Amino acid sequence: MRYQVTESINLASERVRGTYPRTLRIFKKAHTPNWYAEFYADKETLGDSSLKRGKRMSSSMGTADQREAVKRAIAWAREKAEEIHAAAHGLRSARESSLLHYAERFKERFERQIAQGARKRRALNEHLLRLSNGKGTGILQQEFSSKSVTQVSNSEILEYFEELEAVYGDKQRAAIKTTLRCLYEEAMREDYPELQFPRFPKIRQGVKTPTYFDEGQWQRLLIKCRQMAGTDSKGREYASRKLGRDEFLDIPHQTGRHVTQRNFLELYQLLLLMGDTFIRVQDLYRIRVRDFAVIADKETGAEALAIRLPDPKTKQTRETIASTPRAVDYWERIKARSSSVNDYCFFNEYERPKGAPENGRMYDCFLACWHKLLEYADLKTDKFGRKHTPTSIRHTAFMLFLERNQGRVDLQTLAWNGHTSVQMLEKTYLTHINASKRIADLHHGSEDIEQRIRQRGSKQGRLL
**Residue at 186 is within a domain:** yes
Query: According to the model, what pLDDT value does residue 461 have?
Result: 38
> Does 349 share its domain with 426?
yes
Helices (H) and strands (E) in the chain, counts: 15, 7
- pTM for this one? 0.54
How far is 75 from 374, CA to CA, in rounded Å? 74
Please state the separation of Cα 208 from the chain's center in Å.
20
Helix (H) or strand (E) holding 240: none
How far is 128 from 107, CA to CA, in rounded Å? 8
> Does 284 share its domain with 154?
no
**Residue at 49 is within a domain:** yes
Mean pLDDT is highest, among 140-144, 351-355, 415-419, for 140-144
How far is 441 from 101, CA to CA, in rounded Å? 59
> Does 157 share its domain with 298?
no
CB atoms within 10 A of CB 223: 13
Cross-strand pairs, 305: 294, 322
Domain count, the chain: 4
Ranges of H-type helices in 278-361: 325-336
> Does 86 share its domain with 103?
no
* Domain stop point among 96, 124, 141: 96
> Does 117 share its domain with 71?
no
Residues, the chain = 464
Higher-confidence position of 70 and 118: 70
> Does 9 share its domain with 154?
no
Query: According to the model, what pLDDT value does residue 315 have?
Result: 66
> Does 56 share its domain with 138?
no
DSSP 365: H
The per-residue pLDDT for range 22-47, each reduced to its tens digit, is: 888 999 988 888 999 998 887 655 55
The per-residue pLDDT for range 200-242, each reduced to its tens digit, is: 555 455 556 788 898 899 999 999 999 999 998 888 898 888 8
Give 241's contacts (C-beta < 8 A, 6+ positions apart).
none
How far is 190 from 193, CA to CA, in rounded Å? 6
> Does 291 share its domain with 324?
yes
> Does 119 share its domain with 56?
no
**Residue at 200 is within a domain:** no
Query: According to the model, what pLDDT value does residue 43 have?
Result: 61
Candidates 132, 129, 135, 133; CA nearest to 100 is: 132
**Residue at 197 is within a domain:** no
**Residue at 195 is within a domain:** no
- Per-position b or e across 111-123, b if 16+ CB within 10 A of its CB: eeebeeeebbeee
The per-residue pLDDT for range 6-17, each reduced to its tens digit, is: 889 998 888 888
CA triple 375-365-335, angle to 5 deg? 110
How far is 69 from 64, CA to CA, in rounded Å? 7
- The whole-number average pLDDT for the span 95-122 is 86
Give 375's contacts (C-beta < 8 A, 6+ positions apart).
none
Candidates 201, 118, 191, 214; CA nearest to 433 is: 214
**Residue at 287 is within a domain:** yes
* Domain stop point among 144, 170, 190: 190
State whether residue 243 is helix, strand or coil.
coil
> Does 281 share its domain with 390?
yes
Candidates 45, 95, 20, 35; CA nearest to 65 is: 35
What count of Cα atoms within 13 Å lies in the side-chain half-sphere of residue 134? 0
Cross-strand pairs, 295: 304
> Does 387 share its domain with 266?
yes
> Does 15 share its domain with 104?
no
CB atoms within 10 A of CB 358: 17
Indicate the range of 147-151, 164-168, 295-299 predicted with least confidence.
164-168
Query: Whole domain around residue 444: which residue ranges?
Result: 435-464
* Domain stop point among 47, 72, 96: 96
The per-residue pLDDT for range 52-64, each reduced to its tens digit, is: 556 788 889 989 9
